[in-house]
């Protein structure tokens, strides 16, 4: 099954993706991870991407799409993938459809994890992250239970920053909901519930075996 994952920052997309990966073996393709890996490995695409990132600019669509295409060609993506963080807008969605068609593949579902904005602000602003290993925990946890490192609040998890991220999402990415609804592959799940409850509905929506 080939899935595009949609939802605002903090909606819980990554958690649901990880559960699908663990149970069904889908390839989890995150554009953020792809960019970091390409830069770290100093590949041709990575070197090009780094020049934009170092200048504080967005990496151009064509470069991101090239990275995604390269990843989709990997063996582990042949039996199903979850795209996380891509496409970010309808122009990228159109290009993705075209590239998949050229590979004789298609998307089976666009899964939207839906959570109200005020819930997301509360959820993310109460999150703390370990400076050493990146472990996350609720506010009030001062020492990382995994490595003993210091827990702190990232700038990205401060209310004013979260609101800005939500504004960007609503402007650039939310139109994808209508795009995939028009293609009759949108599946929406209420993400403001316990993780396992959300996941049970995700499996039903995607018609995955029990």
Asked about 123 being catalytic, the answer comes back as no
**Nearest in space to 91 (alpha carbons), one of 113, 116, 62, 49:** 62
Asked about 78 being catalytic, the answer comes back as no
Tell me how far apart the alpha carbons of residues 208 and 210 are, in angstroms, rounded to a whole number: 7
Tell me how far apart the alpha carbons of residues 14 and 130 are, in angstroms, rounded to a whole number: 18
The structure tokens listed for 94 are: 């159109």
Q: Which of 19, 50, 69, 88 is the catalytic position?
A: 88
Q: Which of 71, 123, 127, 187 is the catalytic position?
A: 127
> Is residue 191 within 8 Å of 184, Cβ to Cβ?
no
Asked about 131 being catalytic, the answer comes back as no
Tell me how far apart the alpha carbons of residues 122 and 158 are, in angstroms, rounded to a whole number: 10
Asked about 154 being catalytic, the answer comes back as yes
The structure tokens listed for 87 are: 């496409």
Q: Which of 105, 154, 158, 193 is the catalytic position?
A: 154
Q: Which of 50, 165, 193, 203 is the catalytic position?
A: 165
Asked about 127 being catalytic, the answer comes back as yes
Which residues are catalytically annotated?
13, 88, 127, 154, 165
């Amino acid at each position: 099954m080939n899935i595009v994952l949609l939802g605002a920052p903090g909606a819980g997309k990554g958690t649901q993706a990880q559960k699908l990966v663990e149970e069904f073996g889908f390839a989890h393709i995150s554009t953020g991870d792809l960019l970091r890996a390409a830069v770290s490995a100093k590949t041709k695409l990575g070197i090009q991407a780094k020049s934009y990132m170092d200048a504080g600019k967005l990496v151009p669509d064509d470069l991101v799409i090239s990275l995604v295409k390269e990843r989709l060609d990997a063996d582990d993506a042949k039996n199903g993938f979850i795209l996380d963080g891509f496409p970010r807008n309808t122009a990228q969605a159109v290009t993705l459809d075209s590239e998949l068609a050229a590979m004789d593949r298609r998307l089976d579902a666009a899964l939207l994890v839906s959570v109200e904005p005020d819930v997301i602000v509360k959820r993310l602003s109460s999150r703390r992250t370990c400076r050493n290993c990146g472990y996350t925990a609720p506010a009030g946890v001062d020492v990382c239970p995994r490595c003993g490192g210091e827990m702190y609040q990232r700038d990205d998890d401060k209310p004013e920053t979260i609101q800005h991220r939500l504004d960007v999402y609503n402007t650039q990415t939310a139109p994808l909901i209508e795009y995939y609804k028009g293609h009759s592959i949108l599946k929406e799940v209420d993400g403001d519930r316990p993780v396992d409850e959300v996941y049970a509905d995700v499996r039903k929506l995607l018609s995955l075996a029990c």
